């Protein structure tokens, strides 16, 4: 089997697939043999991405992950359209507000948790249900963040809390679903110039990268959405068959060299 067919015969759902990491993952999954359902709330952009990849191998379905019914309907759509579900890439997320905890709006906190944690829980639940029913040895992947490992002054408190919680959710689901042959993992990338990050920071992509906000790793390579998509491809493929319950950090070593231990 060639490297271009690592997902041959598999069906994937990618939430938050209309841009950034999700759009790159949808393209990469299709290039590697998968049939893909892009799920998002941005219908216009989602349809554009689907069309640019090729409508014979990718479809678009509206899905707000805060609404469990919409998640369930998206899973049902994938089954009806392609006859199976092997991969759930729960990638939809929002940044929430960046401000001091003294001024933090807890309604914003609730909404961030609803998308980033509750939404992921709905994706895991409904993907796993059909995988168990059909005896599919599936892979469920969630996009977390470097914020799942650290805090920060002025950080998005809801975002940081949500990504810590998401990793806990992944680890718990891994333990329950392993008996059915289902793997559950998360990916924690460093900051990069995605639409989500640019909107949260109020900066253009070029500004995010030139200002040094986006992480350049120890080899001087600036992190891009494609690097995270490639990580998702690995976790979706059989090459990671013995990996589950893992939070795979994609930061080029930045956390390691900036940790308290490394400075001693």
Q: How far apart are CA 38 and CA 60, in angstroms?
A: 5
Residue 21 lies in a domain: yes
* Contact assessment for residue 46 and residue 154, using Cβ atoms and an 8 Å cutoff: no
Secondary structure of 36-87 in the HEC alphabet?
EEEEECCHHHHHHHHHHHCCCCEEEEECCCCCHHHHHHHHHHHHHHHCCCCE
Residue 201 lies in a domain: yes
Higher pLDDT, 20 or 152: 20
* Number of domains observed in the structure of the chain: 1
Residue 70 lies in a domain: yes
Q: CB burial class (10 A; 0-12, 13-18, 19+) of residue 243? A: middle
Domain with 241, as residue range(s), is 11-250
pLDDT at 191 over 50: yes
pLDDT at 113 over 80: yes
Average pLDDT for 49-62 = 94
Distance set, CA 73 to CA 41, 59, 147 (Å) = 14, 14, 30
Active site amino acids: 159
* Contact assessment for residue 164 and residue 120, using Cβ atoms and an 8 Å cutoff: no
- What is the tens place of the pLDDT at every residue in 25-52? 999 999 999 999 999 999 999 999 999 9
Average pLDDT for 174-200 = 84
Residue 20 lies in a domain: yes
Q: How far apart are CA 257 and CA 182, in angstroms?
A: 34
> Which pTM does this prediction carry?
0.89
Residue 262 lies in a domain: no
Residue 257 lies in a domain: no
Residue 255 lies in a domain: no
H helices within the chain, ranges in order? Answer: 20-31, 43-53, 68-82, 106-113, 119-133, 157-177, 195-201, 205-210, 225-236, 254-257
For position 32, which CATH number holds?
A: 3.40.50.720
- Residue 139: what are its φ and ψ, rounded to 5°? -125, 125
- What is the tens place of the pLDDT at every residue in 7-17? 999 999 999 99
Helix (H, G, I), strand (E, B) or coil at 12: strand
Average pLDDT for 175-190 = 96
Residue 198 lies in a domain: yes
4 CB-near residues (< 8 Å, 6+ apart)? 31, 32, 33
């Amino acid at each position: 089997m060639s490297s271009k067919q690592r997902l041959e015969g598999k069906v994937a759902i990618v939430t938050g697939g209309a841009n950034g990491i999700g759009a790159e993952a949808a393209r990469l999954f299709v290039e590697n043999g998968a049939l893909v359902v892009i799920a998002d709330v941005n219908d216009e952009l989602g349809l554009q991405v689907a069309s640019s990849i090729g409508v014979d191998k990718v479809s678009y379905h509206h899905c707000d992950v805060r609404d469990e019914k919409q998640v369930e309907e998206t899973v049902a759509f994938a089954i009806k359209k392609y006859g199976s579900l092997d991969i759930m890439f729960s990638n939809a997320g929002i940044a929430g507000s960046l401000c001091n905890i003294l001024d933090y709006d807890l309604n914003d906190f609730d909404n961030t948790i609803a998308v980033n944690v509750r939404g992921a829980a709905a994706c895991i639940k409904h993907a796993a249900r059909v995988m168990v029913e059909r005896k599919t040895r599936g892979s469920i992947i969630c996009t977390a963040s470097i914020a799942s490992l650290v805090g920060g002054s002025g950080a998005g408190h809801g975002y940081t809390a949500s990504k810590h919680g998401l990793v806990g959710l992944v680890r718990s689901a891994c333990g329950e679903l392993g008996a059915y042959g289902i793997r559950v993992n998360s990916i924690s990338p460093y900051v990069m110039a995605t639409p989500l990050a640019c909107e949260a920071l109020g900066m253009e992509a070029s500004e995010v990268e030139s200002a040094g906000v986006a992480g350049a790793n120890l080899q001087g390579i600036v992190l891009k959405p494609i690097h995270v998509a490639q990580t998702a491809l690995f976790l979706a493929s059989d090459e990671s068959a013995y990996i589950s319950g893992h939070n795979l950090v994609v930061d080029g070593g930045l956390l390691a060299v900036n940790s308290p231990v490394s400075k001693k």
